[in-house]
Amino acid sequence: MDVLSLLRSKNRCVKRFIKLSSAFLGEFESVPRADASARLKALENLQDKREQILKAIDLYDRKISEKVSLMDPADKSPELIRLVKELVAEQETLLIEVFQVDEKLLKAVETEKTGILLEIQRSQKNKNDLQKFKSAWINASGEELDRKL
C-alpha cells in the first residue's frame, strides 16, 4: 500500500471509531437505568471495540511512518504532498469530532456514576433507618427481657 491508501484507510478507521461511539451513546441512553447489567455490558463492548480500532490506527501510523521513511525524495511530488495535507486535514477534523463524541460519552458515564452513588446513599440511609427502628422496637417490646429469662 502506498502512503495515500494508508492515510485513507486510517481515516476510515477513525470514522468507524466515531460511528461506534455515537451508536453506543444512542444505545446506552435507550437502555433503562434499572437494567444496570445491560448498560455495563454495553460499555464493556464499546471499550473492547474501541481498543481494536485504536490498535488498527496505531498499525496504520507505523506503516505510514515506515513508508514515508523509505520513500525516495524524488517521489515526494508537490501533488503527493498536497494530497497528504488534505488527508491529514480531514483526519484533524475527524479527531475534533472524536473529542466531541468522547466528551458526550464521559458526561453520560459521569451521569450514570452520579446516579449510582445517589442510589447507594439512599440505600445506606434506608438501612440505617431500619436499624434504628429495629433497635427502638426491640427495647420497647421487651424482647431483650425475654432473652434473659
Question: pLDDT per residue over 62-118, tens digit each?
Answer: 999 999 999 888 888 899 999 999 999 999 999 999 999 999 999 988 988 888 888
In contact, 2 and 75? CB cutoff 8 Å: no
DSSP 55-108: HHHHHHHHHHHHHHHHS-GGG--HHHHHHHHHHHHHHHHHHHHHHHHHHHHHHH
Lowest mean pLDDT among 48-57, 97-106, 122-131: 122-131
Residue 44 has pLDDT above 70, yes or no: yes
Reported as a single tens digit per residue, the pLDDT across 14-23 is: 999 999 999 9
Distance, CA of 12 to CA of 16 (rounded, Å): 6
Report pLDDT for 55.
97
> Which pLDDT score, from 0 to 100, does residue 37 have?
77
pLDDT tier for residue 142 given thresholds of 50, 70 and 90 = low
